[in-house]
Amino acid sequence: MVERLRRQLVVRQNRPVDVDQWPTDDTLGWNKDGAKGELSKVIGQMAFVQHRLMAEAQQSLLVVLQGRDASGKDGLVRHVMTGMNSAGVRVVNFKVPAGVEKQHDYLWRCHQACPARGEVGVWNRSHYEDILVPRVKGLVPEEVWRRRYRHVRDFEQMLADEGTRILKFYLHVSHDVQRLRLQKRIDNPESSWKHDPSDLSDRELWPAYAEAYAELLRETSRPHAPWYVIPADNKWVRDLAVAKIVLDELRDMNPQLPKPEKSLKGIKVQ
């Protein structure tokens, strides 16, 4: 079942992807009540395998979250990723590079944010911003952002070769749903602090971002670091789809509890 889900949502290497043609409101054959029950089960199972990943301390999992403003990256972290033991989960939010980050190449801060052995890393935005934003806003010449496809493919290949599994999720919302969510955020005193004027200026650049995402997903989806396009108009679909894929990957990693050095048989604690 999960295999079918993964096949349905994965971006195939080098095939044309027109993101705006992919459905944002697909329910993937699920219903809301059933999906909520299923999600808590899946989160429990994720926590179980993650415990073994931490104990084994050999492999890492990196989960990259990309998507437009209000596509639900924060919500996903809150509802799904925090179900695991937070001692072994490292959530990193990537903002506009500042201070020392600007004194280095763009992958510098990313490499430092990579999960250690035994950890799950969750990136809320990522090195992909360094391709999207400069492209859409015309901050650097095309040859500069374009060669970054190659850099990130090689960077991710290196991480994979050295023991990190990588899953990348593009949370796909419609133009209308983004409008509703941004408006709600502004109108609600509990969330209005989150409003950022750049959310509105980026919204005006919707078609340019669509084009940039389409090419980026195609250029950087690889078997060792695949992109999944997640229908994200419904939060419950988004959460369950990502949780199922993460659980499947963790299980495939098959982490083993370390064996005690000597037999514990006969040891009595006094």
- What is the C-alpha to C-alpha distance for residues 28 and 6, in angstroms, rounded to an integer? 11
69 is a site residue for Mg ion (CB under 5 A): yes
- Contact partner, 211, from Mg ion, ligand AMP, none, Cβ < 5-8 Å per class: none
**In Å, what is the CA distance from 41 to each residue of 5, 38, 46, 52, 264?**
17, 5, 9, 18, 33
Q: How far is the CB of 154 from ligand AMP (least distance, A)?
A: 18
- Contact partner, 94, from ligand AMP, Mg ion, none, Cβ < 5-8 Å per class: ligand AMP
- What is the C-alpha to C-alpha distance for residues 14 and 216, in angstroms, rounded to an integer? 10
Of 26 and 69, nearer to Mg ion (C-beta) is 69
Phi then psi for residue 120, to 5 deg, are -105, 125
Span near ligand AMP by CB under 6 A; candidates 26-34, 41-49, 124-132, 184-192: 124-132
Phi then psi for residue 62, to 5 deg, are -115, 120
Please name the residues in contact with 157: beta carbons below 8 A apart, sequence gap of 6 or more. 222, 224, 225
The interface mask with ligand AMP, positions 48-87, x = CB under 6 A, is ---------------------x------------------
Q: How far is the CB of 267 from ligand AMP (least distance, A)?
A: 51
Q: How far is the CB of 148 from ligand AMP (least distance, A)?
A: 11
135: tokens are 């492209």
- What is the C-alpha to C-alpha distance for residues 72 and 243, in angstroms, rounded to an integer? 14
The interface mask with ligand AMP, positions 12-51, x = CB under 6 A, is ----------------------------------------
- What is the C-alpha to C-alpha distance for residues 2 and 16, in angstroms, rounded to an integer? 24
Of 56 and 101, nearer to ligand AMP (C-beta) is 101
Q: How far is the CB of 12 from ligand AMP (least distance, A)?
A: 26
263: tokens are 């037999």
The interface mask with ligand AMP, positions 190-209, x = CB under 6 A, is --------x-----------
Of 172 and 244, nearer to Mg ion (C-beta) is 172
Of 204 and 261, nearer to ligand AMP (C-beta) is 204
Q: Which long-range contacts (CB under 8 A, 24 or more apart) does 43-49 make?
A: 43/80, 43/83, 43/84, 43/243, 44/83, 45/247, 46/80, 46/83, 46/84, 46/243, 46/246, 46/247, 46/250, 47/83, 47/84, 47/85, 49/247, 49/250, 49/251, 49/253, 49/255
State which of residues 105, 162, 187, 196 lies at the interface with Mg ion (CB under 5 A).
Answer: 196
Span near Mg ion by CB under 5 A; candidates 10-18, 38-46, 174-182, 198-206: 198-206
For residue 171, what are the β-bridge partners?
67, 230
Residues 95-114 within binding reach of ligand AMP (CB under 6 A) = 95-97
Binding site for Mg ion (CB under 5 A): 69, 196, 199
Residues that bind ligand AMP (CB under 6 A): 69, 94-97, 125, 129-130, 133, 198
